[in-house]
Amino acid sequence: MAEQLSLCRDVDIDHDAVYKYILVQVRTRDKAHNKTVVRGYQWAPFHDKIMEKLSSEVKELALECECIGGGKIKHCSTERTIQVYGKSMVCSVTPHYPVNP
């Protein structure tokens, strides 16, 4: 079952846009192994739409998932920056910690 976790990408986000994201714990059904993944897409008007997509993907891998937070991401690849901020009304509030470059 732990091998299934490796088939689930750690990060899948869009580039060069501002969009909603979720932070999700993906785990084996026996709860023996888990990892945290990030998903963020410009096409998603709401956080729950991203969760629906990820839920169907992990179900196919015989895994479970739980949203542990969400907010917004501003990604600018030319400046090599990612700003993470905000909160989700559906998911819990993700603690955002400032990082100095």
Q: Is there a binding annotation on residue 53?
A: no
Alpha-carbon dihedral sign for residues 41, 56, 37, 67: positive
Residue of 15, 33, 47, 75 marked active site: 47
Strand 34-41 relative to strand 17-28, pairing: antiparallel
DSSP element (H, E) containing 2: helix 2-6
- Spell out the residues 6+ positions from residue 23 whose beta carbon is closer than 8 angstroms to its own: 36, 37, 38, 67, 68, 69, 70, 91, 94
Establish whether 47 is a catalytic residue: yes
Binding residues: 20
Binding residues for substrate: 20
Which residues are marked as active site?
A: 47
